[in-house]
């Protein structure tokens, strides 16, 4: 997962001693401590992919080649395939007011794939252009800050073996 926006820094800003004591709970505690800032995240981006270009203000964006994000299964990625040569991109709109915030959070909590504030795209290439430096996380590690990011599928770069049960 390559991601930007709300709470994406939690995995690499949580102190190791807290992880050792509280495990997954350390991440939750860290996220709760950043809740006001996380909920007000608003990053303007233009995103170009195989399906075209979208532009908007987003609270979160994540490019995945998995069926879960942060260890949590998500219905938006239920049909993701590791071998189709495509990534999935989830974009969550930044809410404009408290009512939209409640709608976004409730829809995410319910796994409502018809939520108008959550968008799913597929593609083999994504270009992000931001109007400010934006911090990224790459598989839970600090990915640095950029105003432009190009992410491509490298088809056949690694061999993946599946074992039938």
Task: DSSP for 22-33, please give it.
Answer: HTHHHHHHHHHH
pLDDT one-digit tens code per residue, 81-124: 566 778 888 898 988 887 887 887 777 677 776 778 888 888 88
CB 46 within 8 A of CB 147: no
What's the pLDDT at 132? 94
Residue with tokens 């590690």: 141
Helix then strand count (H, E) for the chain reads 5, 9
pLDDT one-digit tens code per residue, 66-84: 655 555 556 556 666 566 7
| Poorest-pLDDT segment among 46-60, 72-86, 89-103, 148-162 | 72-86
Written as six digits, the tokens of 158 are 């690694």
Distance CA 146, CA 83 (A): 29
CB 100 within 8 A of CB 67: no
- 35's CB contacts (< 8 A; 6+ apart) are none
């Amino acid at each position: 997962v390559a991601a930007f926006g709300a709470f994406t820094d939690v995995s690499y800003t949580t102190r190791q001693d807290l992880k050792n004591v509280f495990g997954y709970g350390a991440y939750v505690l860290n996220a709760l401590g950043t809740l006001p800032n996380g909920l007000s995240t608003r990053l303007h981006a233009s995103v170009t992919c195989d399906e075209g270009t979208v532009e908007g203000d987003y609270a979160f964006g994540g490019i995945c080649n998995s069926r879960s994000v942060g260890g949590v299964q998500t219905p938006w990625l239920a049909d993701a395939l590791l071998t189709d040569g495509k990534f999935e991109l989830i974009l969550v709109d930044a809410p404009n007011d408290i009512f939209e915030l409640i709608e976004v959070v409730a829809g995410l909590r319910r796994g409502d794939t018809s939520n108008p504030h959550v968008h799913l795209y597929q593609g083999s290439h994504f270009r992000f252009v931001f109007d400010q430096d934006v911090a990224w996380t790459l598989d839970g590690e600090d990915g640095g800050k950029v105003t432009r990011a190009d992410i491509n599928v490298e088809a056949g770069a690694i061999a993946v073996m599946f074992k039938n049960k």
